[in-house]
Every structure is written in C-alpha cells, then in structure tokens.
Chain A
Amino acid sequence: MLLVENLHATAGDAEILRGVDLEVRAGEVHAVMGPNGSGKSTLAHVLAGREPYCVTEGLVTFCGRDLLAMAPEERAAAGVFLAFQHPVEIPGVQNVYFLRTACNALRRSRGLDELDTKAFLALVEDKARLVEMDRSFLHRSVNEGFSGGEKKRNEVLQMAVLEPRLAVLDETDSGLDIDALRIVAGGVNALRSAERAIVIITHHQRVLDYIVPDRVHVMAQGRIVQTGGKDLAVALEREGYAGLGDDLDPAPDSVRPVSPRPVGAAR
C-alpha cells in the first residue's frame, strides 16, 4: 500500500530525512519509534504534504500512485490520514461542520453522494461513541478549548468518520493519561481491518500494549536503522536508544543540492 524509498527531506537548510525506506501493506500496523529529533514527525508530515518540508530525493508510492505529486487534499481523497501531534484550533468553525465538510469532500472526490445533515449526524454520533466523546464537543469550535486528551480523541473521531486506507498517528498517545490512552487505543483498534494500514509514531512502548503492532521500526538521524517485531519495542523500552547511533554511518557532510520539490505544491 505504502512504499517509501530513499526519502530525503529538508526543512530550511537542515536535512531531516536522510534516506527513509519503509513498506507498509494493507492490514498491517507499523510502529515507528526513535529519539527526539530523529525525523519521525517529519516523516508523518511529508506523507501528508505539509508545505515547509521539501523532498529532495526519493519516492513515495501510495496504492500505485506518486504520493509526492499530490496536493494534501488529493492525498486525503486517496485515503491518507494524518492524526496530528498538535491538532489545530479553529475558532468560529463548528466541529460537526468541519467533519461534515471533510466527509463530503472525500465522498465527492470518490464519486459518492454527499450525506445530508441527518444522515451525517447519525454517522458522527455513532462514531463519537467509539471514542466516548460527548456530543456537545461536536457543536463547539474545532479543538478550541479542548484538553489535550479531547483533541486526540477528536483526531481519532475524524479518522473514524473519514475511514482512511492509511492512517498515520503522530504521537497520538503523547500527553494522555491512562484512561484517555485506553479510549484512544480502543478507537484505533476498532478501525483495524484487512484493507487499512496504520502507522503509529510514538516515543513510548506503552501504547503498543494496547495497539499491538506487526512491525516496529526505529528511526535515528533521519532514517530507519532497525526493524523488528513487537518485541523490539519492549527491548527499546528497557535499554533505551543510547546504543543506536554506534553502528550508523557518519552523518552526511552536507545537504546535497538536489532541486527542491515543495511537498504540497503539485496540482
């Protein structure tokens, strides 16, 4: 479903991704772990098409299509979903309106009829129960005044409503207490299916007790340096990332001057 090959990306002058290779198949759950600054979140944003990042080299193929040539909304239409580490507050825009607009935009792009207000409300209230979200949150402005946990639940609610083929969860577990973690993980698990792939980016092994991954990858210095089964996460939790850098090549001496390609610019 997702094939990342030798992906290099920069933010400003800094090369953050230095040759990421990753393959995720339908039905799989992958965890990407690694220390701060290893490029995990950048990878997530590059997959979603965030503008400040420039892809300088490499390929990302999603369901046979060149993902990097697509605008963010086209990626969403193709089935890519990013659960934000820091969900954005949008004052003045009602959550339920936001969800319905997104849902219908995706339905339209897939040639489906739009859902009317009544049908959509029935859908969203059903999904809201999945993340134990009080429906009053649907009528508030998007994420405005939400607690950290409420924002993360709202991300999982969006994912449940939009039903992506590939969900990338960027530190969705960060800052959650144990109850919120259980709820969020429950929501994610409910969405696991043979047609859907999930990539979980996390610092902590804890979330992987709830959402058990098929593969665990470790990122360091902008690439994936180790891959294993779920046991790898347990080992990392015990031993830390300290030893990871030892067997790496020295960091590239400079950012290679490849013609930059703005990530979300293609139409």
Chain B
Amino acid sequence: MTALAEHVARPLADLAGGGPVPAQSGPFWLARARHDAARWIEVHGFPTKKHEDWRYLPLDPVLAEAFEVGGSEPAPAAAAWAKETVERCSIGRLGSRLVFLNGRFVPHLSRITALPHGVVVSNLGPALTAEAAHARAATLRRAREPRHAFAALNIALAADGALVEVPAGVVLDEAIELVYLTDPAGRALLTSPRSLLYFGKESQATIVETHCGAAGARYCTNAVTHVLLDAGAAVEHYRLQDESDHAFHFSSLDVRQAAGSHFRSHLVALGAEIARHEVEVLLGGEGAALDLGALYLPQGTQHHDHPVLVEHAAPGCTSRQRYVGIVDDCAHGVFNGHVIVRPGAAGTDASQSNKNLLLSERAEVDTRPRLEIFTDDVACAHGAAVGRLDADALFYLRSRGVPEPRARGILVRGFAAQALECLTLAPLRARAEGLIAGRLGLENDAVPVPVLGGSPVPGARR
C-alpha cells in the first residue's frame, strides 16, 4: 500500500468499523457516508495509469507522501500570512467572503455582508455535523457513488467548506468570494474542503473561488464543489488556482443544471506541482446552457490536467468548452474533454476547443476532445491546436527594438489575453493579468490606457 493510503487508512479503518472519528461526529447519515467512502477506497484503491482519465497524471509522488489529515490551529505566522493574502487577493470590497485556512473556516477573516432575505453564505462544516442537518447539506447522502478515490477521500474527510444558497428569484449584485488558503508550516497537510452551492429558480449570482498556498509549501488540496442550478438560474463561477508550486491540487466541480439555467465557469491555473481540475456537468433540463473555460500555464515540471465531462441529457442544451494551455519548460498540460449526448437530447449544440502554445522543446501537451453522440439532430464540433510562438511576430517585435525575452513575454501574454477575455469580472481579470505578467517577467503595464478626453472607443479590446 502506498504511504498516503497507509496514512489515511487508519482513520478510514476507524470509519469503516463505525468507531468515533475525532471532530467529525455528526448525524448517522454522515457517519454512514464517511464509512461508505472509506470502504470504497479500500475496495477500489487509488487510480492508476490504466484509468482513462488518469493516464497522463503522475500520481506516484502524491501517493508516496505521508500526509497529515485534518486541520489544527494554524501557527501565528500562518494566520498573519492568511490575513495579508486575503487582503491581497480579495477582488471585491463589498461582497461576502468565506475564508478557509488549512482546511478550516476562519470566521475573523471572513465577511458576511447584509444579504437579501433567504440567502445563505456560511461554513458547510457545522451544517454537516449538526444533528438537524441542513436539507441541502444532505446532498452527501444523495451523492453518487464516488468516481475515484479522491472523491471518496473528500467525503470521508470533509470538514469545512462553503455553503451558498441563493433562493428563487434573488439576484446578487456582488460576487461571493471563497478563499482557500494553505500554510501548513512544514507539515504535509491534506485538506478536504467540500462546498455546496445552490441556486434557486431564476436566481443570479457570481462566485469567485481562490486557492492559494504559502510559497514553497508541500501540501495537498482535495476539494469538491457541488453546484446545483434550478430552472432559469444564471451563475458565473471563477476559479483562480495559485497554489504553492510544490503543492498537489485536486479539485472536482460537479454541476447539475435544470431547464433554462446558465452556468459559466472559468479557471485560471498557475500553481501546484501536480494539479487536476476536474469538471463534470449534467445538463438535465431543456435549454440549459454551459460555458466552460480554462487558461492554464504550467512551467518548470508542473503538470496540469483537465478532465471534463459534459453530459447532454435533455433537449436543446448548449455547451461550450474553451481550454487554453500555455506550456513551458518541461511542463505538461492535458485536456481530456468528453461530451456525451444522451438519447433524446435533440437540438444539442456542443463544442469543444483546446488551443495550446508550447514554449519549449521539452514541454508536453496532450489533447483529447471526445464526442459521444446517441441522438440525431445535434450540432457538435471539436477542435484542438498545438502551436509555437509565431516567428514572424517575434521578429516584428524585435525589429522594433524589443529585446527577445521581452518580445516573447509580450506574445505569450497576447495569447493569454484572448482567453482572459472570458473573465468578465474586471477586478478578477486585472488580478489574473497581474499574476500572468509576473510569471512572464513583464511589469503589468498592459492595462488600458485611457483615451484622452474621449468616449469609449468602438472596437477597443480593453
């Protein structure tokens, strides 16, 4: 057995035996769910390269690590770092914000503003363990069988996470921020945030999720987020993954959409030594629309993996996948996008696109857009491209006096800018641009230059 399996085997075995779990007491159904999840791992084990969705992922370093499970009081230095980081990466001045440090909810860094009646923005943890479990939190009970050991592990170990509920008809103007921070102070921590986001009929909201770790720290984030959209709900979800370069990041976004709902989710991924950003969406009601996008920029020896599964199970649904990779050094970027059109899902309109920019001879890209169609009357398209920097454009910039390294940086940022156009939330986009500029060694000076004394310019890109 691997070190990870051995290490968590003890608490999982306790769960399997029905014994008490420290700080995880709760209602019977929860104990049962944890027990079942632990059992699932015992039976099925961790994925191997033989599993289709895991074939490119170098899992051995993760499994070899002896992680500590469960958070404890963070060191004072970590608390100070968390405070500074929250202030630095916060994009809204007014909206509600939930902050988690080392897997635990931190009330004093969080902020719950006055919200419309019925809106819930809180820590899922107490809702999970409360005897009168929150009705929505009970989704754990209804959760499908885990698709892999990391999903099961999250159920077995879940403690805190975000609970967001927006009732029918409510339109939230301010984005809700979810900030997951890790500063393990030398310990190899495994955190298992589990979040539930529920959006009622015709509601509208924006969620911004940030994952950030202390520089150089080794830890593992294993996050699961369930998103439920009732009929006609319109939700924008953004995720900024800026974990420590030595961390492991596993995240799973599990979305179910009812009729006429509209979900947009965009990821910008920079951090983690090994990151797996999984998205699974069920378009279960007629006319639901999905817009998925990601920009990932692995460098060094980073590995960024993107398994996507979109299931069209109702007629007239639309799905878009736009994944953009910029891969440097010896890094590896993977897009493994899968669309299934179920029988009866007539009028499906699905597209997948994966564009990659390779910046070094040793960088590696795998792209596998796949369509499985079980009905007629569908419009499905997929495309993938892998290219290098345009030599003509590079020469053009150099011929104007721009030194080569900077010219390359400018072209890469230009490529990224096209993907960042999807970030319609201006402060978030500015932050993403700043992070990318920093990575490319450019000062963040591509910000819009105001037109002197004029109205907005038609056709202006920024």
CB distance from A168 to the nearest CB of B (A): 10
Report the separation of the CA atoms of residues A76 and B411 in the bound assembly, to the nearest whole angstrom: 19
Do B398 and A98 touch across chains, with their CB atoms under 8 A apart?
no
Number of residues from A at the complex interface, CB < 8 A: 42
Interfacial residues of chain A within 78-98, with CB under 8 A of chain B in the complex:
81-82, 84, 87-94, 96-98
Do B395 and A51 touch across chains, with their CB atoms under 8 A apart?
yes
Report the separation of the CA atoms of residues A158 and B449 in the bound assembly, to the nearest whole angstrom: 18
CB of A129 within 8 Å of the partner chain = no
CB of A77 within 8 Å of the partner chain = yes
Do A101 and B410 touch across chains, with their CB atoms under 8 A apart?
yes
From A72, A76, A102, A140, residue with most partner B Cβ within 10 Å: A72
Nearest B residue to A86, CB-CB? B392
CB of B413 within 8 Å of the partner chain = yes
Chain A 134-171 interface mask (CB, 8 Å, partner B; 1/0): 01100111000000000000000010001000000000
Given A49-B399, A76-B400, the answer on whether A88 and B390 have CB atoms closer than 8 Å is: yes
Nearest A residue to B410, CB-CB? A93
Do A90 and B401 touch across chains, with their CB atoms under 8 A apart?
no
Do B399 and A139 touch across chains, with their CB atoms under 8 A apart?
no
Known: A105-B401, A139-B460, A140-B461; 10 extra A-B contacts, CB below 8 A, are A49-B398, A73-B403, A88-B395, A98-B400, A117-B449, A135-B457, A136-B457, A136-B460, A139-B448, A141-B414
CB of B340 within 8 Å of the partner chain = no
CB of A193 within 8 Å of the partner chain = no
> Which residues of B are at the interface with A, using a C-beta cutoff of 8 A?
390-393, 395-404, 406-407, 410-411, 413-418, 445-446, 448-449, 451-452, 454, 457-462
Please list the 4 inter-chain residue pairs (A to B) with the smallest Cβ-Cβ separation, ordered nearest first: A92-B414, A76-B401, A92-B417, A102-B400
Report the separation of the CA atoms of residues A9 and B315 in the bound assembly, to the nearest whole angstrom: 63
CB distance from B28 to the nearest CB of A (A): 55
> Which residues of A are at the interface with B, using a C-beta cutoff of 8 A?
48-51, 71-73, 75-77, 81-82, 84, 87-94, 96-98, 100-102, 105-106, 109, 117, 121-122, 125, 135-136, 139-141, 158, 162, 264
**Complex A-B: 28 CB contacts under 8 Å:** A51-B391, A72-B395, A73-B399, A73-B401, A76-B401, A82-B399, A84-B396, A88-B393, A88-B395, A88-B396, A89-B393, A92-B414, A92-B415, A92-B416, A92-B417, A93-B414, A96-B449, A97-B449, A98-B397, A100-B449, A101-B402, A102-B402, A105-B400, A136-B459, A140-B459, A140-B460, A141-B461, A264-B395
Nearest A residue to B401, CB-CB? A76
- Compute the total of residue contacts between A and B using a CB distance below 8 Å: 117
Do B401 and A88 touch across chains, with their CB atoms under 8 A apart?
no
CB distance from A91 to the nearest CB of B (A): 6
Given A73-B404, A88-B390, A125-B452, the answer on whether A93 and B460 have CB atoms closer than 8 Å is: no
CB distance from A246 to the nearest CB of B (A): 37
Report the separation of the CA atoms of residues A91 and B413 in the bound assembly, to the nearest whole angstrom: 10
Nearest A residue to B458, CB-CB? A136
Report the separation of the CA atoms of residues A190 and B362 in the bound assembly, to the nearest whole angstrom: 49
Do B398 and A139 touch across chains, with their CB atoms under 8 A apart?
no
Nearest A residue to B390, CB-CB? A88
Please tell me which one of the listed residues A90, A100, A109, A162 contacts residue B396 in the complex, with CB atoms under 8 A apart: A90
When distances are taken between beta carbons in the complex, the residues of chain A under 8 Å from B461 are 92, 94, 139-141
CB distance from B266 to the nearest CB of A (A): 17
Please tell me which one of the listed residues B400, B418, B457 contacts residue A162 in the complex, with CB atoms under 8 A apart: B400
Report the separation of the CA atoms of residues A76 and B416 in the bound assembly, to the nearest whole angstrom: 27
Do A121 and B411 touch across chains, with their CB atoms under 8 A apart?
no
Nearest B residue to A93, CB-CB? B414
When distances are taken between beta carbons in the complex, the residues of chain A under 8 Å from B418 are 91-92
Report the separation of the CA atoms of residues A122 and B451 in the bound assembly, to the nearest whole angstrom: 10
Please tell me which one of the listed residues B391, B392, B402, B415 contacts residue A73 in the complex, with CB atoms under 8 A apart: B402
Do B402 and A94 touch across chains, with their CB atoms under 8 A apart?
no
When distances are taken between beta carbons in the complex, the residues of chain A under 8 Å from B402 are 73, 101-102, 105
Report the separation of the CA atoms of residues A89 and B390 in the bound assembly, to the nearest whole angstrom: 10
Please tell me which one of the listed residues A50, A89, A94, A102 contacts residue B397 in the complex, with CB atoms under 8 A apart: A102
Please tell me which one of the listed residues A49, A91, A162 contacts residue B414 in the complex, with CB atoms under 8 A apart: A91
When distances are taken between beta carbons in the complex, the residues of chain B under 8 Å from A100 are 449
From A100, A106, A136, residue with most partner B Cβ within 10 Å: A136
CB distance from B268 to the nearest CB of A (A): 15
When distances are taken between beta carbons in the complex, the residues of chain B under 8 Å from A135 are 451, 454, 457
Do B401 and A162 touch across chains, with their CB atoms under 8 A apart?
yes
Report the separation of the CA atoms of residues A48 and B416 in the bound assembly, to the nearest whole angstrom: 28
Report the separation of the CA atoms of residues A106 and B398 in the bound assembly, to the nearest whole angstrom: 11
Report the separation of the CA atoms of residues A76 and B396 in the bound assembly, to the nearest whole angstrom: 11
Report the separation of the CA atoms of residues A214 and B24 in the bound assembly, to the nearest whole angstrom: 89
Do A76 and B398 touch across chains, with their CB atoms under 8 A apart?
yes
Nearest B residue to A139, CB-CB? B460
When distances are taken between beta carbons in the complex, the residues of chain A under 8 Å from B407 are 73
When distances are taken between beta carbons in the complex, the residues of chain A under 8 Å from B396 are 84, 87-88, 90
Report the separation of the CA atoms of residues A117 and B396 in the bound assembly, to the nearest whole angstrom: 22
Do B411 and A90 touch across chains, with their CB atoms under 8 A apart?
yes
Report the separation of the CA atoms of residues A51 and B462 in the bound assembly, to the nearest whole angstrom: 33
Do A93 and B399 touch across chains, with their CB atoms under 8 A apart?
no
Report the separation of the CA atoms of residues A176 and B171 in the bound assembly, to the nearest whole angstrom: 53
Do A76 and B458 touch across chains, with their CB atoms under 8 A apart?
no
When distances are taken between beta carbons in the complex, the residues of chain B under 8 Å from A136 are 457-460
When distances are taken between beta carbons in the complex, the residues of chain B under 8 Å from A93 are 410-411, 413-414, 417, 446
Nearest A residue to B412, CB-CB? A92
Report the separation of the CA atoms of residues A190 and B392 in the bound assembly, to the nearest whole angstrom: 29
From B403, B416, B417, residue with most partner A Cβ within 10 Å: B403
Nearest B residue to A72, CB-CB? B398
Report the separation of the CA atoms of residues A162 and B400 in the bound assembly, to the nearest whole angstrom: 8
Report the separation of the CA atoms of residues A219 and B245 in the bound assembly, to the nearest whole angstrom: 57
Given A73-B401, A140-B460, A162-B401, the answer on whether A105 and B413 have CB atoms closer than 8 Å is: no
When distances are taken between beta carbons in the complex, the residues of chain B under 8 Å from A139 are 448-449, 451, 457, 459-462
Do A71 and B404 touch across chains, with their CB atoms under 8 A apart?
yes
Do A48 and B399 touch across chains, with their CB atoms under 8 A apart?
yes
CB distance from B67 to the nearest CB of A (A): 40
Report the separation of the CA atoms of residues A235 and B9 in the bound assembly, to the nearest whole angstrom: 92
When distances are taken between beta carbons in the complex, the residues of chain B under 8 Å from A94 are 446, 449, 461-462
Report the separation of the CA atoms of residues A239 and B250 in the bound assembly, to the nearest whole angstrom: 74
Nearest A residue to B452, CB-CB? A121
CB distance from B313 to the nearest CB of A (A): 36
CB distance from B110 to the nearest CB of A (A): 36
